[in-house]
Structure 1
């Protein structure tokens, strides 16, 4: 793959994530039936009306209007990117400090209560053990939210050149555990990172079957290892012999990939109720990351009322129409779509009206150069 194409994909991934967050945040928490394609298109139409192609920026009479704000999704992704760039790799204490300092500097980005507690404990302990506060949450089970997955896109960019699934898996796990230590949250972030990595390596048209096959293969290997560890621990704790054989429930992300494939390949668009009921749109990793992957895959096909939109645009719009945690699902779907289609597929009008796009472009170039030197 040429430098220009790959760099475009790096830029597309980070900018796509930012735009999904900024545009999706307007609809966060709403039921799908109260949104609809028309309402999302109306919002995007306002954004597009601010753009001046002659200057490649906002119209003169629109420049005083506020940019669409990013949320905690982008705030934390920025910290992941900056920490990997500054350290030329992963440093747990440094990244934990960046997360915490970013929150206390700018706390009004929609952070959840449990994550605020983690940041406070990290700060109070002077980041002595960057994993302890998260591991102590929820009676030691850790959070199973999607906060790890929503910010993870810089990791597959950084690890791209090594082309090593195990290396990427370990990097994502270490990044995620700073705030989310539950296996479902960690595996959700890994699932998302695998999807971005596959998109970075993709070309031409999206092959949904092949994409899901490889994604399922990768996550199955991960979930097998996690299941073995959990079973071993439980057997040691209770000295019991039951449940030695893995069941489909032991591999939730591998199993849900079958549903992602099925819904994405259907000729007719599945009902919103079917998608939200079976894939989910809430703040848990397991009930949002699969929906983001599905949204990307589904948007490569026809969607009514979006015939004049390209596949990147359809990904963001469709993800938002599903309701629920719209900013996070759209940011994850946008990262995958941007990684596949590249920066050229992302409307300049969208970029001109959303906060932090310039930083995303800068981080993409730095991560590209850094990954090039880490071969």
Structure 2
């Protein structure tokens, strides 16, 4: 397989793998995550994903059908809520309050939510389809990655965190090395200070200096630190989710980055085989690749 396509598939499927791996452990105490499991707060079967993966698949379908269009994106998210569309079960589940409020607000007022001071990791976890769609334009990948947050989370830290991760994914797809992704790529973006500070400190931080939370800033730090301090997809994802807390969301964030960097072939085959509805996932990924900007 062509290396760019392998990384392209890796980014999207990696998001779903990471989300699925972390899902049963979300917000509960555990000793160590080593493999897929069942149970958790959503009573999952092995291989079932949560909201981040569902919204990423909805975002991918929106891009396939309508290009980058925020109104189209939020309508796909509403279809997921209303019908369970592209859920791993027969209904939507796992949605956070802020996202639900934004979707209800749009349905009532036909406009997006106003600026909020709440910094959230949710738009980062569904992000991969955007830099994949704009895979051959770093500028567009960065800009539209930030724009994609507006449907549900109009927050400057969240938007700029999406810009950073979008740029990292786009460059990873094209084979840039880890040193460049962590130490150089942010220099080519217009980012707020708080986001830049998170990435420039990664080479110098120990695990004990990093905390897990549902904020965009903390979650991007966990994901990029885990990428920097491991040398394969499996270890990167396991390192990130073992920080605990919002494990399904953090898993999706690291999964898309590590997948873009290492490629689909580096994802453990036993993991890919355990994912439910994987044929549908691959169909969407193939379509997204076909329409991605040349």
Q: TM-score, normalised by structure 1?
A: 0.71
Q: Is the 8 A contact 1:188 1:289 kept in 2?
A: yes
Provide the alpha-carbon RMSD of the alignment: 2.1
Match of 1:288 in 2: 219
Structure 1 residue 100, shift from structure 2 partner: 1.2
Among residues 109, 119, 122, which one is paired with 2:106 in the alignment? 122
What runs of 5+ residues in structure 1 fail to find an aligned partner? Answer: 48-64, 224-250, 264-269, 301-310
| 1:215 Cα deviation from its structure 2 partner | 2.7
C-alpha contact 1:7 1:365 (8 A) present in aligned 2: no
> How many Å separate the matches in 2 of 1:68 and 1:207?
29
Change (3 A) 1:144 1:13: same
Equivalent residue in structure 2 for 1:197, among 170, 174, 196? 170
Kept in 2: contact 1:195–1:293 (CA 8 A): no
| Counterpart mapping for 1:215-364 below 5 A | 215-219=185-189, 221-223=190-192, 251-263=193-205, 270-271=206-207, 273-276=208-211, 281-300=212-231, 311-364=232-285
2:64 — aligned with what? 85
**CA distance 1:345–1:207, change in 2 (3 Å):** same
Superposition deviation, residue 169 in structure 1? 2.7
Given the alignment, which residue of 9, 12, 24 partners 2:10? 12
Instruction: Give the deviation of 1:155 after TM superposition.
Output: 0.5
How far did 1:329 drift? 1.2
Distance 2:280 2:221 in 1: 28
Q: Write out per-residue CA displacement over residues 210-263 of structure 1, whole angstroms, 9 at most, x where no aligned residue.
A: 2222232134x233xxxxxxxxxxxxxxxxxxxxxxxxxxx0111111221223
Q: Give the C-alpha shift of residue 296 in structure 1.
A: 1.4
Q: For residue 143 of structure 1, report the CA deviation from its aligned partner.
A: 3.7
Residue 164 and residue 68 in structure 1: after superposition, are their counterparts in 2 closer, same or farther (change >3 A)? closer
Indicate the SS of the match to 1:330. helix
CA contact (8 A) 2:98 2:152 kept: no
> 1:16, 1:335 within 8 Å by CA — same for their partners in 2?
yes
Q: Residue 173 of structure 1: CA displacement?
A: 2.6
What is the TM-score with the length of structure 2 in the denominator? 0.89
Task: Tell me, in whole angstroms, the C-alpha distance in 2 between the residues paired with 1:29 and 1:288.
Answer: 14
- How far did 1:114 drift? 2.0
Structure 2: 5+ residue runs without aligned partners?
39-43, 85-90
- 1:66 positional shift: 4.0
Supply the distance in 2 between the matched residues of 1:364 and 1:111 (Cα, whole angstroms).
Answer: 23
Larger radius of gyration: 1
- Equivalenced residue count is 283
Show the 5 A alignment for 1:26-65. 26-30=24-28, 34-36=30-32, 40-41=33-34, 43-44=35-36
Deviation at 1:199, TM superposition (A): 1.3
Counterparts of 1:146 and 1:200 in 2: how far apart (Å)?
22
